[in-house]
Amino acid sequence: MKTVLIVVAGGTASGKTTVVEKINERLNSKDVQVIRFDDYYKDLSNLPMEDRARVNFDHPDSLDNDLMVEQLEELLKGNTIEKPLYDFKTHTRKVETETIKPSKVIIVEGILSLYDKRVRDLANIKIFVECDDDIRFIRRLRRDMTERGRSLDSVISQYLGTVKPMYYEFIKPTKRYADIIIPNDNNHEVAVDIVMAKVKEIINRKEENK
């Protein structure tokens, strides 16, 4: 099977997931696998809970990039993988895994998904989703408090201490590697149309070269 690998990056709560869902809607769902880069955070079960909370989750070193690259390569070879699952409430890797089968289109989504050159080299389409800082912070605040059980003070402290500075140091600079930059403050249908046209072009080209 010839696979199209799409990598979607951008700051926290920039709208990456929404963009991925839009792309997914346009494709036949059975032909698409979505991989959340967040599930590749390193397991912190060896640390006390208070130490886990102090880990900088917006730094590239917090992610198991080697495992991500290894599993992406396996998928592109046509092999099934057991993807890790991450528990954000405990900052640990879950015992259970998620079975991911090879498919025509694989979408990788995460804040630092364009940081590692090995991932970029595997990608057919690289996307960066941009959004106003204030909007991203409000979205992050709502999400972390409702979905991840965080307190208001902890979210604000983490955002100012690591999330915002790491965005400007490590995440935003990866925008230069993107083939397409999507401004998520407004409607992004045109950008998604462009992505879809490119996906179809790549699939057709690979089919012709069989």
pLDDT in tens, 25-44: 888 667 889 999 999 999 99
pTM of the entire predicted model: 0.88
Query: How high is the pLDDT of residue 186?
Result: 63
Q: For domain 4-185, which architecture applies? A: 3-Layer(aba) Sandwich (3.40)
**Sign of torsion over alpha carbons 184, 189, 190, 193:** positive
Q: Give the span between the Cα atoms of 205 and 210, in whole angstroms.
A: 9
Cβ neighbors of 105 (< 8 A, separation 6 or more) are: 3, 4, 6, 27, 31, 32, 33, 199, 203
**CB distance 124 to 200 below 8 Å:** no
Q: Are 10 and 139 in contact (CB under 8 A)?
A: no
- pLDDT tens sequence across 171-181: 999 999 999 99
Q: Three-state SS for 58?
A: coil
Check residue 1 and give its pLDDT: 61
Structure tokens at 94: 């879950």
CB-count exposure of residue 51 (10 Å: 0-12, 13-18, 19+): exposed
**Positions of the chain with pLDDT under 50:** none
